A and B are shown apart, each in its own frame.
Chain A
Amino acid sequence: MSRRTRFAVFAVGAAGLVILFVLAAFRLPDFGGRFHPYGERAVTSAIAEKTKNVVSSVNFDQRAFDTVGEELILFASALGAVILLRMVRREREEEAGEHGYGPADVFDALRLTGYLLLPVTLLVGVYIVAHGHLSPGGGFQGGVVLGTALHLLYLTGDYPALARLRPVPVFESAEALGAGAFVVLGLAGAGLLIPMNSVVGLEVGCAFVLVLAKFFEQALLVRTDDAGTEDS
């Protein structure tokens, strides 16, 4: 199919989609309106359970099963990254040192900023996880902060230090532990917000580190032995 035909097919479809969507959009309640029956019920239920953050109450209590699914998506995709980005035939891993991925030549100011920000960012992550039931935040948001905090080390130019700080097998096990604990909590005792937020934070942080570690390996260490990448 030529680019022109492809665009024509899309244009026809897009025209139809525009008509459909506009038809529907003008039949929706006005923006900012007062019709939110589910939202109001959720607020009432959260208050009855004495949960201050209603979004957390919906996520971890009222609709905890959605979050179990969501956690498993995260877990499965971390496993997926391990599978899809594994070493395969014709490839070998090079030692990090072999490439001079030691402390790289970066500005001292950048290095210093990275080292200083690392503990601060970790602390912020823990805070966001721990306060998820009270204020905006929670395991997902905090977990992402925790997971990315470690990579400040990479920004300072020190990949080996990052690699030492995150032994992949440990993070794999910790991630599985977090996911398992969450499933048990989610199915057995929905509503235990603090432990649930904590295990989610653990799982999200570890999954993030794991997925990024696999991408780093591919980008920095894995080399294909033969030059021809096309299949025979």
Chain B
Amino acid sequence: MVQAAIAAPVLIAIMLAAGGRRLPRPVVDAVATGTILAVTVLLGIVLATALRHPVVTWLGGWPPRGGVSVGIPLVADPMSAGLALLVAVLTLAALVFSWRYLVEVQAIYHALMLLFTAAMCAFVLTGDLFDAFVFFELMSVIAYVLTGYKAEEPRTVHGALNFGVINSLGAYVTLMGIGLLYARTGQLNFAAMGARLPGQDHRLVTVAFALVCTGFLVKAATAPFHFWLADAHAVAPTPVCVLFSGVMVELGVYAIARTYWATFAGAVPGARPALAFLGVVTALLGGVMCVLQRHVKRLLAYSTVSHVGVILLGVAALDHDSLAGAAYYLLGHAGVKSALFIAAGTLLNRFETLDERELHGRGLRLRASGAVFLVGGLGLAGVPPSGLWAGKAVMDEAAQRAGWWWAAPVGVVASALTAGAVLRVWLRVFRGVGPSGGGTAEHEDSETGPRMSRLPWTMLTPGVILAGGAVLLGLIPGLLHGVSHAAGLFVDHDGYVSAVLSGGAWHAASAPLHPWTAAGLVGGAAGVVLAAVVAVLGLHQPVPRILRPVIDRLRAAHSGHVGEYAAWLTAGVALFGLLLFTA
């Protein structure tokens, strides 16, 4: 079942690449969408099974003997199966959106999207660290190509190149870490390595953790590894952005969490403060950069940086409740951010520009897109009962118990800045508020070829459904319980090891979660109010003079210069390692 979910899109992708050029476009669309629909159903069944008891599949008939194996397992626990399902659902939305979009594409686009889905699913499901590296690379290679899809635009190829170089560098550092672990444990399997880490020299283990995490931190766009993200997101085709921001970046955080709990649990005491520090810096830096942007996709990209920082902060607490909250937050963010990118795509389609000032007041008649921006902005701000709000409330409560009083304000500031920026766009573009003019009149390709008389439903519906679903996520009965159960299994290191290596029992002690607390509601309200303030100030107030030098510095640092990004990456590895040792 699990293998089929990976094999089906791969085989269909290969067929499309071989013969899709001769098929008419609607057939290609139908085949690709149908395949992803089938994968979604398959993964739904896998998730339902995994919720009862996790499924471990040893590929190629090499099951472990005496607690060791030479093969590779796929481990479908509720968290990994759930993420794989999210990948499939978002791909479905992206493919439906691309029916009328990207009209000039050949079937190769569809083949790449299917391969991308399979790569992400294999990456979350694998139980082997080197195999994770291979699929990380597959995912990245496809991502570079999809980013550079509009190869005729100078910015596109430049952004894709920066993305490719920095991501590959991160992946190679990860491989160095895998080498260190292999030398000491003689294993590549998460569980088998984890079983042999106790008693190893803590310096080696800590350095290995720092190196292995580097590639994943780059993928998760954690400061100071985040520079590539905005360059890539601003130029990638809209349906691709949906997958990038909605789930690919978050998979970096998932990989850190998986590596930590399956392998390193307890062996790296510095992980908690080190990850928390990076999470806070990322959340705040992303928020500030988000407010400063006027290119809508770039703005949304920085908002992703900020929110992934919050998710990383939730994971960094390294406890069950906080992880469950982070997972919930991830779900909510995936829905909202995908919907926002889709709405931005409709803007690009209508007006061939994404400059916020240039678009002033031009969205008055795009009611559905405007609604998505409003709902999305409120969702990012953390309005109850959105997924972001519920996840945040659960994370904050866990942080409070751990003595991290500063975690809740950081989250509120991040939501307020990013949501404020989105609401500012809504006010300016869709309501025509604020002074007009000052646009740069820089034209971009509309991605659709001939102009359409009106937006087709396929371009609107996915966004409306995703935004609506994400905002109502906190109300879905049983979902919180399921996520809590998934997190309970996820943090159970001994259960994971015994289930993978000897088919042992793996039970979670899941505690019920309660987002509907007074503190949670206050946090949500504070986010919304502050976001409104940020939005209104952003419309009317120029940046205060005292802040100008700081802001100019920040802008200058995000220069698009690949050598600088590589320098920051090196410094980031050193910083992360230092934090791991000093804490």
Q: Is A132 an interface residue (CB 8 A)?
A: no
What's the interface size class on B, roughly?
35 or more
Q: A27-B201, A62-B60 are in contact. List 16 more A-B contacts (CB 8 A).
A: A12-B571, A16-B571, A20-B574, A28-B183, A37-B186, A41-B68, A41-B70, A42-B70, A80-B142, A83-B145, A84-B145, A187-B3, A190-B60, A229-B154, A231-B154, A231-B155
Q: Is B571 a contact partner of A66 (Cβ separation < 8 A)?
A: no
Segment with Cβ contacts to A, from B12-20, B305-313, B335-343: B12-20
Q: Is B266 an interface residue (CB 8 A)?
A: no
Q: Is B131 a contact partner of A84 (Cβ separation < 8 A)?
A: no
Chain B residues 102-150 with CB under 8 Å of chain A are 108-109, 111-112, 115, 118-119, 122, 126, 130-131, 134-135, 137-138, 141-142, 144-145, 148-149
Q: Is A24 an interface residue (CB 8 A)?
A: yes
In the complex formed, the residue of A with least CB distance to B123 is A69
Q: Is A84 a contact partner of B138 (Cβ separation < 8 A)?
A: no
- Residues of chain A at interface, number, CB under 8 A: 67
Contact with A along B529-564 (1 / 0, CB 8 A): 000000000000000000000000000110101011
Q: Is B60 a contact partner of A79 (Cβ separation < 8 A)?
A: no
Q: Is B570 an interface residue (CB 8 A)?
A: yes
Per a CB cutoff under 8 Å, which of B10, B61, B569 touches A190? Answer: B61
Number of A-B contacts (CB under 8 A): 199
Per a CB cutoff under 8 Å, which of B182, B568, B578 touches A16? Answer: B578
Q: Is A38 a contact partner of B182 (Cβ separation < 8 A)?
A: yes
Q: Measured between alpha carbons, how far is A7 from B509 in the docked complex, in Å? A: 50
Q: Is A65 a contact partner of B59 (Cβ separation < 8 A)?
A: yes
Q: Is A180 an interface residue (CB 8 A)?
A: yes
Q: Is A227 an interface residue (CB 8 A)?
A: no
Q: Could you give 21 example pairs across A and B, Cβ below 8 Å?
A: A9-B567, A12-B574, A13-B571, A13-B575, A16-B571, A24-B180, A24-B208, A29-B184, A36-B186, A65-B126, A69-B122, A77-B145, A79-B108, A80-B142, A83-B148, A83-B149, A88-B152, A176-B14, A187-B3, A229-B154, A231-B153
Q: Is B564 a contact partner of A6 (Cβ separation < 8 A)?
A: yes
With a CB–CB cut-off of 8 A, which chain A residues contact B142? 76, 80
Q: Is B115 a contact partner of A20 (Cβ separation < 8 A)?
A: no
Kindly name the residue among A1, A21, A41, A76 whose own CB sees the greatest number of chain B CB atoms within 10 A.
A76
With A10-B570, A13-B567: A76-B141 Cβ-Cβ less than 8 Å: yes
With a CB–CB cut-off of 8 A, which chain B residues contact A229? 154
With a CB–CB cut-off of 8 A, which chain A residues contact B70? 38, 41-42, 45, 58, 62-63
Q: Is B72 a contact partner of A66 (Cβ separation < 8 A)?
A: yes
Q: Is B60 a contact partner of A29 (Cβ separation < 8 A)?
A: no
A129 to chain B, nearest CB (A): 21
Q: Is B72 a contact partner of A63 (Cβ separation < 8 A)?
A: yes
With a CB–CB cut-off of 8 A, which chain B residues contact A14? 570, 574
In the complex formed, the residue of A with least CB distance to B149 is A83
Q: Is B570 a contact partner of A13 (Cβ separation < 8 A)?
A: yes
Q: Is B573 an interface residue (CB 8 A)?
A: yes
With a CB–CB cut-off of 8 A, which chain B residues contact A180? 11, 14-15, 18
With a CB–CB cut-off of 8 A, which chain A residues contact B15? 176, 180
With a CB–CB cut-off of 8 A, which chain B residues contact A172? 17-18
With a CB–CB cut-off of 8 A, which chain B residues contact A173? 18-19
Which A residues are within 8 Å of any B CB, using their own CB? 1, 6-7, 9-10, 12-17, 19-21, 23-24, 27-29, 35-39, 41-42, 45, 58, 61-66, 69-70, 72-73, 75-77, 79-80, 82-86, 88-90, 172-173, 176-177, 179-180, 183-184, 186-187, 190-191, 229-232
Q: Measured between alpha carbons, how far is A39 from B187 in the docked complex, in Å? A: 9
With a CB–CB cut-off of 8 A, which chain B residues contact A184? 11
Q: Measured between alpha carbons, how far is A63 from B182 in the docked complex, in Å? A: 15
Q: Is B571 a contact partner of A73 (Cβ separation < 8 A)?
A: no
Q: Is A16 a contact partner of B62 (Cβ separation < 8 A)?
A: no
With a CB–CB cut-off of 8 A, which chain B residues contact A35? 186
Q: Is B188 an interface residue (CB 8 A)?
A: yes
With a CB–CB cut-off of 8 A, which chain A residues contact B187? 37-38
In the complex formed, the residue of A with least CB distance to B569 is A13
Q: Is B71 an interface residue (CB 8 A)?
A: yes
Q: Is A176 a contact partner of B149 (Cβ separation < 8 A)?
A: no
Q: Measured between alpha carbons, how far is A39 from B185 in the docked complex, in Å? A: 12
| Chain A to chain B: the 4 pairs with minimum beta-carbon distance, closest first | A16-B574, A13-B570, A13-B571, A176-B18
A51 to chain B, nearest CB (A): 12
Q: Measured between alpha carbons, how far is A17 from B184 in the docked complex, in Å? A: 20
A190 to chain B, nearest CB (A): 4
Per a CB cutoff under 8 Å, which of A6, A28, A65, A230 touches B204? Answer: A28
With a CB–CB cut-off of 8 A, which chain A residues contact B210? 20
B557 to chain A, nearest CB (A): 7
Q: Measured between alpha carbons, how far is A27 from B203 in the docked complex, in Å? A: 8
Q: Is B573 a contact partner of A69 (Cβ separation < 8 A)?
A: no
With a CB–CB cut-off of 8 A, which chain B residues contact A76? 112, 115, 138, 141-142, 145
Q: Measured between alpha carbons, how far is A69 from B131 in the docked complex, in Å? A: 8
With a CB–CB cut-off of 8 A, which chain B residues contact A75? 14, 17, 115
B146 to chain A, nearest CB (A): 9
Q: Measured between alpha carbons, how far is A35 from B185 in the docked complex, in Å? A: 9
Per a CB cutoff under 8 Å, which of B126, B208, B573 touches A13? Answer: B573
With a CB–CB cut-off of 8 A, which chain B residues contact A7? 567
Q: Is A13 a contact partner of B564 (Cβ separation < 8 A)?
A: no
Q: Measured between alpha carbons, how far is A75 from B529 in the docked complex, in Å? A: 50
Q: Is B18 a contact partner of A15 (Cβ separation < 8 A)?
A: no
Q: Is B59 a contact partner of A72 (Cβ separation < 8 A)?
A: no
In the complex formed, the residue of A with least CB distance to B177 is A24
In the complex formed, the residue of B with least CB distance to A79 is B108
Per a CB cutoff under 8 Å, which of A1, A28, A86 touches B557? Answer: A1
A29 to chain B, nearest CB (A): 6
Q: Measured between alpha carbons, how far is A84 from B146 in the docked complex, in Å? A: 9
Per a CB cutoff under 8 Å, which of A63, A77, A90 touches B131? Answer: A63
Q: Measured between alpha carbons, how far is A232 from B574 in the docked complex, in Å? A: 41
Q: Measured between alpha carbons, how far is A127 from B566 in the docked complex, in Å? A: 42
Q: Is B572 an interface residue (CB 8 A)?
A: yes
Q: Measured between alpha carbons, how far is A20 from B201 in the docked complex, in Å? A: 14
With a CB–CB cut-off of 8 A, which chain A residues contact B571? 9-10, 12-13, 16
